[in-house]
Amino acid sequence: MSLKQKDLVSIESLSADELRLILETADSFKEVSGREIKKVPALRGKTVVNLFLEPSTRTRTSFELAAKRLSADVITFSPSSSSIVKGETLLDTARNIEAMQADIIVLRHPAAGAAETLARGLKSSVVNAGDGWHEHPTQALVDLFTLREKHLDFPGLRVAIVGDIAHSRVARSNIYALTKLGAEVRAVGPPTMIPSALDRLGVRVYHKLDEGLRGANVIMMLRLQLERQGKALFPTIREYSQFYGLTPERLKLAEPGVWVMHPGPINRGVEIAPEVVDSFSSVILDQAANGIAVRMAVLYLLSGANT
Ligand code: CP
- Render each residue's pLDDT in the chain as its tens digit; 307 residues: 889 999 999 999 999 999 999 999 999 999 999 999 999 999 999 999 999 999 999 999 999 999 999 999 999 988 777 888 888 999 999 999 999 999 999 999 999 999 999 999 999 999 999 999 999 999 999 999 999 999 999 999 999 999 999 999 999 999 999 999 999 999 999 999 999 889 889 999 999 999 999 999 999 999 987 776 667 777 788 999 999 999 999 999 999 999 999 999 999 999 999 999 999 999 999 999 999 999 999 999 999 877 7
Tell me the whole-structure pTM to 2 decimals: 0.96
Rounded distance between C-alpha atoms, residue 274 and residue 241, angstroms: 12
Q: Is the CB of 182 under 6 A from ligand 1?
A: no
What residues form DSSP beta bridges with 50?
Answer: 76, 106
Q: Is the CB of 257 under 6 A from ligand 1?
A: no
| The residue count for the chain | 307
- Separation of 265 CA from ligand 1 center, angstroms? 6
**Burial bucket for residue 20 (CB in 10 Å: 0-12, 13-18, 19+):** middle
pLDDT at 216: 98
Residues involved in catalysis: 58-59, 86, 108, 136
Q: Is the CB of 291 under 6 A from ligand 1?
A: no
* Biggest distance spanned by C-alpha atoms of the chain: 56
Q: Is the CB of 15 under 6 A from ligand 1?
A: no
Ligand 1 atom nearest the C-alpha of 61 is 8
Q: Report the SS3 class of residue 25.
A: helix
pLDDT at 231: 72
pLDDT at 223: 92
DSSP for residue 246: B
Is residue 258 within 8 A of residue 251, CB to CB? The reply is yes
Is residue 49 within 8 A of residue 77, CB to CB? The reply is yes
Residue closest via CA to ligand 1's atom 1 equals 263
pLDDT at 81: 77
Q: From 84, 92, 136, select the one nearest 117 (Cα to Cα).
A: 92
pLDDT at 159: 98
Ligand 1 atom nearest the C-alpha of 139 is 1
